[in-house]
């Protein structure tokens, strides 16, 4: 009963998939090393069965609104502090966005880290619901040059007087097409 009064806690961090090649360690200048083309849709493991399934497009933190069928995602380093990501389908550019170091992403120990957050409050009748979700998407390369993405999130909500808190993580891999 005490646990119910304090709310529900969901903990679902995903371990790194054992069958995958390990991440390259301490990559210097990840912005330059990540330059290249990758499959637009990635792979991930279903937590319950460890079955390989489609991961979909790159994570939400990149705020890309791809319309159409994407087959390639291209990373380009425009300047030392600018990274450009382009989605391509059938040889046609679907969307391009430039990300600024320190503003849109940071680097840490060979990872590009993009942070995101959402929040709000809704009131219906006597039930008040407020919530906030945030997280990060960290990108690096494996030893063969494939793009690895670790997505982590935390979420908290208050519905009437019941707090709900949770966090988790997932891994996805996008195969390199070219350097």
pTM: predicted TM-score of the whole model, two decimal places:
0.76
- In angstroms, the first-to-last Cα distance of the chain is 57
Contact (Cβ atoms closer than 8 angstroms) between residue 133 and residue 120? no
Which of 5 and 11 is assigned the larger pLDDT?
11
**Mapping DSSP to helix (H, G, I), strand (E, B) and coil, where does residue 46 land?**
coil
Q: Rounded CA gap, 76 and 157, in Å? A: 38
pLDDT tens digits for range 132-168 = 677 888 899 999 999 998 888 777 766 666 666 677 7
How do the domains of the chain map onto residue ranges? Answer: 6-178
pLDDT tens digits for range 84-140 = 999 888 999 988 999 999 999 999 888 999 887 765 544 444 444 567 677 888 899
Q: Rounded CA gap, 85 and 35, in Å? A: 9
- Non-local CB neighbours of 149 within 8 Å, separated by 6+ positions: 42, 55, 58, 59, 137, 138, 139, 171, 172, 173, 174
Please give the mean pLDDT across all residues of the chain: 77
Strand partners, 30: none
Given this model, what pLDDT does residue 35 score? 94
Contact (Cβ atoms closer than 8 angstroms) between residue 74 and residue 88? yes
Given this model, what pLDDT does residue 12 score? 61
- Non-local CB neighbours of 50 within 8 Å, separated by 6+ positions: 17
Given this model, what pLDDT does residue 54 score? 74
Q: Which two tokens stand for residue 102?
A: 């320190």
Given this model, what pLDDT does residue 53 score? 75
């Amino acid at each position: 009963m005490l646990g119910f009064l304090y709310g529900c806690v969901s903990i679902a961090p995903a371990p790194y998939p054992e069958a995958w090649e390990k991440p390259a360690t301490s990559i210097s200048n990840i912005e330059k090393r990540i330059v290249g083309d990758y499959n637009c849709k990635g792979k991930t493991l279903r937590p319950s069965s460890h079955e390989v399934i489609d991961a979909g497009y790159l994570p939400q933190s990149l705020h890309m609104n791809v319309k159409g069928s994407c087959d390639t995602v291209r990373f380009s380093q425009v300047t030392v502090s600018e990274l450009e990501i382009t989605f391509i389908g059938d040889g046609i550019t679907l969307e391009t966005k430039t990300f600024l170091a320190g503003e849109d992403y940071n680097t840490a120990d060979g990872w590009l880290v993009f942070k995101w957050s959402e929040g709000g409050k809704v009131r219906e009748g006597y039930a008040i619901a407020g919530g906030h979700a945030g997280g990060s998407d960290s990108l690096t390369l494996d030893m063969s040059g494939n793009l690895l993405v670790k997505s982590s999130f935390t979420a908290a909500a208050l519905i009437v007087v019941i707090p709900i808190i949770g966090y988790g993580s997932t891994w996805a891999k996008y195969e390199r097409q070219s350097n």
